[in-house]
């Protein structure tokens, strides 16, 4: 036999056959078998590196991909890998690396790159009836695509194919292009000559009349556009189904080139009518909507059979266990009637459920099953309920002999069903010991810590799966491919104690190579580099790649980020991220109304990618009945090379504060501020802020009533530092249903900081949200603030004092109208406040909700005047309508301990939750 085989192989390897038959495959397999990776040892050092021909990326990004540095020993392998890594970016057509020997024995490295030309503009010129947008849609090269002659030729061929499908079989396409040598930009002009198209000279709708034919937007004289014909058939089919014709077209068509005849074949011309006789348990429409008809796909018999089964199952759900259904089809000249006669019979309900053998688990089983006392008995779910009880015990550590028998006893005289459930739980296995086998990269202790199963834990499939998942994660996290399996073994015969055995087969270990980014036109390399927490040579961990992608999305710069992993030489994996940038600039404007500020308008302009570094420049302008605000912000997401967002804001405000009761002006303010703030994420939920605030506040036209100190009128410079902390575990910042939102804020203004006033202001809040049911959330809030001045400052300046009342505080009062008042009843604000709010937020329908609330609180002029028992209470309710920018809100608040002269209630319209 061996002789025979040798003969065949000799024949196979004869020169002719080798080249003619097996050339390609043999070559491919041959090349596969050759091992790669020879290393060219070198001892020369790189004195300096220069790059030529680079225009679209930075030199540092290119050198990162090459991983070479001045002063290092020249490593040809690094150069080889660097060329391939850099090429993955998709920017280059050619990369060449040269060395130039210097006098001291070191070398100069010269990297010469040739960047790919890309399409900057496409112009289409058409001779014929074809639309330019159709051509642009069919043409595969787009603005921004790489350009090459070969790619252009292929794209032109595909365009011609596409035009053929649109009815232009003789279309000619002539491309002309121009490449700008300095920038690589390509201007492409496509001249398209439509030629003689296929024309529809005759339109036949086989086996149908004008009613259906008229539904088509196809007429004689049109160009035969095949994709349009297909879409028309689909559209008309949908229309016919809506009108009751369940199989009006059979979906086939043909076009005869010689005669120009388009033929579309129709199907069953009759309408479908479904009739339910004696249907009492459901509305006809409810049954009909869910009937399993698939028009034109099934025979009438199957439709009837499936219909009967469906109706029966629906009736079983309501306890009609003896329902009888008969179905017939009546074919008419215009209508096919599917008639179902229903005899529903009596309704049976569950009278009692007895559970035997479940011992301590009886109540849990009762809660677990769908059968409930006095509710309809559905025989259809007997088996699934049995499985459900079995699974319950299986997951509680009884894997061997769990059997649950459901025995219904039907009493036809009372129409009651008693269900007896008999459970044989069998043995419960307890994990007494865990053995780890095959672990090399991690100690047994590390694996056991990862598994995290306590001694005497009941053995369940879930425990097993979770343990396996955790060990797999440990290995993946460290770049190791490993096969993990877990099984149990009994500790002695008939023993319920078991040993869990973790079998680990460690395979290859992978390491991070380079991360290449492509598709970024404006965004600089440093924006990407700073989020890559992994380094070349570290164990490969895909979770770290996902984390980097998540952080890149958080910059707001990208619409899409796709990732690919490339196996580089050795056990190295390169990561390729392909990004699509969003438009960095935006202008937004809005008009609104709120009871606090009246009508208002705002305009906001922002640019989020200044210098390609994700630096944000933002300006806002807002005008309302109470004043104007203008701000200009500069936000650097990384401050001093660390991820500490830094913001500087210049702010101007011109505001008139009025007594909301009387409408009289209390005071006017012109405020110029410059605020610089740095923030740091301290833990997953805690963020710290530190800001410096310099404000020049001019308070004028002040009603004498509200003047408490010399600083309440005139121009005042306030220079302060403000440390703050936020603890946020909310699940949704706009409408939270779970979590805390707590904050602590301190403002210190001092003459040491060149402030004209000295005070310390402390404020804090604790907000808690808890979803009680799917549609009901309880929201609680407690807020307080204290302020004290020193040196010349007795009362803190008017603009810094605490006020309560309004849509976000105590809603039975107008804005800032609660607390100490002057002789003319104008609120003066104070140095201390305490406030508590309770809200019950109920989702009513869709995005609409209602809120019931109780607010309480008060303001005191001085800290030593605080009386926690002297609080004002208001109760009320409101309506919320959810929008993407927060709920639109209407609240009505009623004073519970109104004082003489006060209005009994207030209403508020605004956006966002109260807290």
- Kindly tell me which residue out of 46, 47, 65, 95 binds other proteins, with binding defined by CB under 8 A: 95
- Kindly tell me which residue out of 59, 70, 72, 94 binds other proteins, with binding defined by CB under 8 A: 94
Closer to other proteins by Cβ: residue 567 or 775: 567
Cα→Cα distances 3→7, 15, 17, 22, 185, Å: 6, 20, 20, 22, 64
Closer to other proteins by Cβ: residue 93 or 234: 93
User: Is residue 92 at the binding interface for other proteins, with CB under 8 A as the rule?
Assistant: yes
Interaxial angle between packed helices 76-87 and 59-66, expressed in degrees from 0 to 180 and rounded to the nearest 10 = 120
User: Is residue 452 at the binding interface for other proteins, with CB under 8 A as the rule?
Assistant: no
User: Is residue 110 at the binding interface for other proteins, with CB under 8 A as the rule?
Assistant: yes
Identify the burial level of 642 via C-beta atoms within 10 angstroms of its C-beta, where 0-12 means exposed, 13-18 middle and 19 or more buried.
Answer: exposed
Residues 461-500 close enough to bind other proteins by CB under 8 A: 481
* Structural contact between residues 370 and 382, judged by C-beta atoms closer than 8 angstroms: no
User: Is residue 640 at the binding interface for other proteins, with CB under 8 A as the rule?
Assistant: no
- Hey, CA dihedral for 679, 680, 686, 690, is it positive or negative? negative
Residues 646-685 close enough to bind other proteins by CB under 8 A: none
- Kindly tell me which residue out of 45, 99, 680, 862 binds other proteins, with binding defined by CB under 8 A: 99
> Which of these ranges, 5-13, 607-615, 765-773, 836-844, lies near other proteins under the rule CB under 8 A?
5-13
Closest distance to other proteins from the beta carbon of 528 (Å): 17
User: Is residue 105 at the binding interface for other proteins, with CB under 8 A as the rule?
Assistant: no
Q: Is 312 helix (H, G, I), strand (E, B) or coil?
A: helix
- Kindly tell me which residue out of 89, 215, 600, 658 binds other proteins, with binding defined by CB under 8 A: 89
Closest distance to other proteins from the beta carbon of 1 (Å): 7
- Kindly tell me which residue out of 53, 55, 101, 405 binds other proteins, with binding defined by CB under 8 A: 101
| Phi and psi, residue 897, nearest 5° | -130, 65
Closer to other proteins by Cβ: residue 356 or 483: 483
User: Is residue 50 at the binding interface for other proteins, with CB under 8 A as the rule?
Assistant: no
Closest distance to other proteins from the beta carbon of 31 (Å): 5
- Kindly tell me which residue out of 48, 53, 90, 230 binds other proteins, with binding defined by CB under 8 A: 90
Neighbours of 762 (CB within 10 A): 15
Which residues, in sequence order, are CB contacts of 27 under 8 Å at separation 6+? none
User: Is residue 518 at the binding interface for other proteins, with CB under 8 A as the rule?
Assistant: yes
Closer to other proteins by Cβ: residue 116 or 201: 116
* Structural contact between residues 767 and 793, judged by C-beta atoms closer than 8 angstroms: no
Residues 112-171 close enough to bind other proteins by CB under 8 A: 146, 148, 150-151, 154
* Structural contact between residues 482 and 503, judged by C-beta atoms closer than 8 angstroms: no
- Residues that bind other proteins (rule: CB under 8 A) add up to a total of 52
> Which of these ranges, 4-12, 402-410, 545-553, 815-823, lies near other proteins under the rule CB under 8 A?
4-12
* Structural contact between residues 323 and 315, judged by C-beta atoms closer than 8 angstroms: yes
Closest distance to other proteins from the beta carbon of 346 (Å): 56
Binding to other proteins by CB under 8 A, coded x per residue (else -) over 24-43, reads xx-xx-xxx-x-x-x-x---
- Kindly tell me which residue out of 67, 76, 341, 905 binds other proteins, with binding defined by CB under 8 A: 76
Closest distance to other proteins from the beta carbon of 116 (Å): 9
- CA–CA dist 322, 218 (Å, integer): 54
Binding to other proteins by CB under 8 A, coded x per residue (else -) over 847-866, reads --------------------
User: Is residue 21 at the binding interface for other proteins, with CB under 8 A as the rule?
Assistant: yes
Identify the burial level of 717 via C-beta atoms within 10 angstroms of its C-beta, where 0-12 means exposed, 13-18 middle and 19 or more buried.
Answer: middle
Closest distance to other proteins from the beta carbon of 12 (Å): 7
Closest distance to other proteins from the beta carbon of 735 (Å): 39
User: Is residue 22 at the binding interface for other proteins, with CB under 8 A as the rule?
Assistant: yes
Taking the CA of residue 335 as centre, how many other CA atoms within 13 Å lie in the half-sphere pointing to its CB? 8
Closest CA to 86 of 117, 120, 51: 51
> Which of these ranges, 3-11, 229-237, 382-390, 410-418, lies near other proteins under the rule CB under 8 A?
3-11
> Which of these ranges, 1-9, 599-607, 667-675, 842-850, lies near other proteins under the rule CB under 8 A?
1-9
Q: Name the pairing type of β-strands 627-636 and 646-658.
A: antiparallel
Q: Where in 225-288 does DSSP place strands (E)?
A: 249-256, 261-266, 271-277
Closest distance to other proteins from the beta carbon of 140 (Å): 9
User: Is residue 87 at the binding interface for other proteins, with CB under 8 A as the rule?
Assistant: yes
> Which of these ranges, 84-92, 369-377, 639-647, 671-679, lies near other proteins under the rule CB under 8 A?
84-92
- Kindly tell me which residue out of 125, 364, 400, 564 binds other proteins, with binding defined by CB under 8 A: 564
- Count how many residues are written for the chain: 915
- CA–CA dist 665, 844 (Å, integer): 41
164-199 burial by CB neighbour count: b if 16+ within 10 A, else e? eebbbbebebebeeeeeeeebebebebebebeebbe
Closer to other proteins by Cβ: residue 4 or 752: 4
- Kindly tell me which residue out of 53, 98, 411, 462 binds other proteins, with binding defined by CB under 8 A: 98
Question: What is the Rg, in whole angstroms, of the alpha carbon atoms belonging to the chain?
Answer: 39
Which residues, in sequence order, are CB contacts of 16 under 8 Å at separation 6+? none
DSSP string computed for 524-579? -HHHHHTT----TTSBP-HHHHHHHHHHHHHTT-EEEEEEEEEE-SSSEEEEEEEE
Closer to other proteins by Cβ: residue 31 or 591: 31
Closest distance to other proteins from the beta carbon of 325 (Å): 47
User: Is residue 580 at the binding interface for other proteins, with CB under 8 A as the rule?
Assistant: no
- CA–CA dist 677, 671 (Å, integer): 19
Closer to other proteins by Cβ: residue 148 or 751: 148
726, containing H or E segment = strand 714-728
- CA–CA dist 556, 857 (Å, integer): 40
432-456 burial by CB neighbour count: b if 16+ within 10 A, else e? bebebeebebbeeeebbebbebeee
Closer to other proteins by Cβ: residue 143 or 401: 143
Pair of tokens at residue 576: 């390729």
Binding site for other proteins (CB under 8 A): 1, 4-5, 7-8, 11-12, 21-25, 27-28, 30-32, 34, 36, 38, 40, 76, 79-80, 83-84, 87-90, 92-101, 109-110, 146, 148, 150-151, 154, 481, 508, 518, 564, 567
């Amino acid at each position: 036999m061996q002789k025979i085989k040798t003969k065949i192989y000799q024949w196979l390897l004869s020169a002719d056959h080798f080249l003619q038959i097996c050339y390609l495959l043999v070559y491919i397999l041959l090349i596969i078998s050759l091992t790669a990776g020879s290393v060219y040892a070198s001892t020369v050092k790189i004195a300096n590196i220069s790059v030529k021909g680079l225009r679209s990326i930075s030199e540092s990004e290119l050198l990162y991909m090459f991983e070479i540095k001045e002063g290092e020993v020249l490593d040809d392998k690094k150069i080889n890998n660097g060329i391939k890594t850099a090429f993955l970016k998709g920017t280059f057509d050619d990369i060449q690396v040269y060395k130039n020997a210097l006098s001291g024995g070191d070398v100069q490295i010269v990297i010469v790159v040739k960047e790919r030309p890309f399409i900057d503009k496409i112009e289409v010129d058409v001779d014929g009836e074809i639309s330019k947008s159709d051509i642009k849609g069919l043409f595969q090269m787009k603005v921004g695509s790489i350009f090459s002659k070969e790619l252009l030729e292929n794209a032109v061929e595909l365009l011609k194919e596409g035009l053929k499908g649109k009815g232009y079989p003789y279309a000619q396409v002539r491309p002309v292009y121009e490449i700008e040598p300095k920038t690589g930009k390509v201007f492409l002009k496509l001249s398209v000559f439509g030629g003689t198209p296929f024309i529809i000279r005759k339109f036949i709708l086989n086996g149908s009349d004008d009613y259906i034919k008229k539904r088509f937007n196809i007429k004689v004289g049109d160009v035969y556009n095949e994709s349009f014909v297909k879409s028309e058939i689909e559209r008309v089919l949908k229309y016919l189904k809506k009108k009751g014709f369940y199989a009006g077209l059979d979906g086939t068509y043909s076009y005869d080139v010689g005669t120009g005849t388009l033929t579309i074949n129709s199907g069953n011309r009759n309408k479908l009518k479904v009739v339910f006789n004696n249907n009492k348990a459901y509305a006809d429409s409810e049954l009909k909507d869910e009937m399993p008809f698939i028009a034109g796909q099934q025979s009438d018999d199957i439709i009837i059979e499936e219909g009967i089964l469906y109706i029966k199952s629906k009736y079983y759900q309501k306890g009609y266990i003896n329902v009888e259904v008969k179905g017939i089809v009546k074919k008419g000249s215009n209508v096919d009637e599917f008639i179902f006669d229903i005899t529903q019979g009596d309704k049976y309900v569950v009278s009692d459920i007895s559970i035997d053998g479940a011992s301590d688990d009886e109540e849990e089983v009762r809660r677990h099953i769908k059968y409930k006392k006095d509710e309809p008995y559905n025989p259809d779910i007997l088996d699934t309920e049995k499985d459900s009880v079995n699974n319950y015990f299986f997951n509680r550590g009884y894997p061997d002999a769990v059997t649950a028998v459901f025995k219904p006893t039907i009493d036809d005289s009372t129409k009651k069903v008693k269900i007896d459930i008999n459970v044989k739980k069998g043995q419960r296995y307890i994990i007494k010991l865990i053995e780890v086998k095959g672990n090399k990269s991690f100690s047994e202790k590390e694996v056991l810590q990862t598994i995290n199963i306590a001694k005497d834990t009941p053995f369940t499939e879930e425990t097993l799966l979770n343990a396996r998942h955790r060990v797999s994660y440990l290995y993946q996290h460290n770049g190791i491919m490993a096969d993990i399996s877990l099984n149990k073994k009994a500790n002695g015969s008939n023993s319920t104690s078991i040993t869990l055995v973790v079998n680990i087969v460690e395979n290859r270990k992978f390491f991070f190579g380079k991360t290449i980014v492509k598709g970024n036109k404006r965004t600089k390399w440093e924006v990407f580099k700073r989020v890559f927490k992994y380094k070349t040579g570290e164990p490969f961990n895909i979770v770290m790649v996902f984390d980097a992608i998540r952080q890149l999305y958080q910059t707001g710069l990208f619409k899409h980020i796709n990732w690919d992993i490339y196996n580089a030489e050795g056990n190295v994996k390169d990561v390729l991220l392909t990004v699509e940038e969003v438009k960095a600039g935006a202008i937004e404007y809005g008009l609104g109304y709120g009871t606090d500020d009246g009508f208002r308008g705002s305009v906001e302009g922002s640019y989020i990618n200044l210098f390609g570094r994700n630096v944000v420049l933002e300006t806002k302008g807002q005008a309302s009945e109470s004043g104007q605000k203008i701000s200009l912000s500069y936000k650097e997401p990384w401050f001093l090379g660390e991820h500490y967002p830094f913001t500087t804001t210049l702010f101007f405000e011109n505001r008139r504060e009025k007594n909301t009761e009387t409408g009289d002006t209390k005071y006017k303010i012109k405020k110029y501020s410059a605020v610089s703030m740095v923030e740091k994420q301290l833990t997953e939920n805690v963020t710290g802020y530190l800001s410096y605030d310099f404000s020049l506040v001019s308070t004028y036209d002040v009603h004498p009533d509200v003047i408490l100190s010399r600083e309440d009128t005139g121009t005042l410079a306030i220079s302060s530092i403000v440390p703050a902390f936020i603890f946020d575990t909310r699940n949704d910042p706009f409408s939270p249903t779970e979590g805390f939102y707590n904050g602590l804020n301190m403002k210190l203004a001092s003459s040491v900081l060149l402030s004209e006033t000295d005070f310390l202001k402390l404020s804090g809040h604790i907000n808690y949200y808890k979803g009680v049911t799917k549609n009901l959330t309880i929201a609680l809030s407690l807020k307080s603030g204290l302020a004290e001045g020193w040196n010349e400052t007795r009362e803190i300046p008017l603009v810094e004092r605490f006020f309560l009342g309004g849509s976000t505080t105590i809603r039975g009062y107008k804005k800032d109208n609660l607390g100490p008042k002057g002789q003319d009843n104008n609120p003066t604000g104070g140095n201390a406040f305490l406030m508590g709010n309770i809200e019950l937020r109920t989702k009513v329908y869709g995005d609409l909700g209602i809120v019931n609330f109780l607010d309480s609180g008060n303001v005191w002029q001085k800290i030593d005047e605080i009386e926690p028992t002297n609080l004002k209470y208001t109760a009320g309710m409101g309506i919320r309508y959810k929008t993407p920018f927060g709920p639109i809100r209407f609240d009505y608040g009623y004073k519970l301990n109104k004082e003489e002269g006060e209005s009994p209630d207030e209403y508020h319209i605004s956006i966002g939750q109260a807290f």
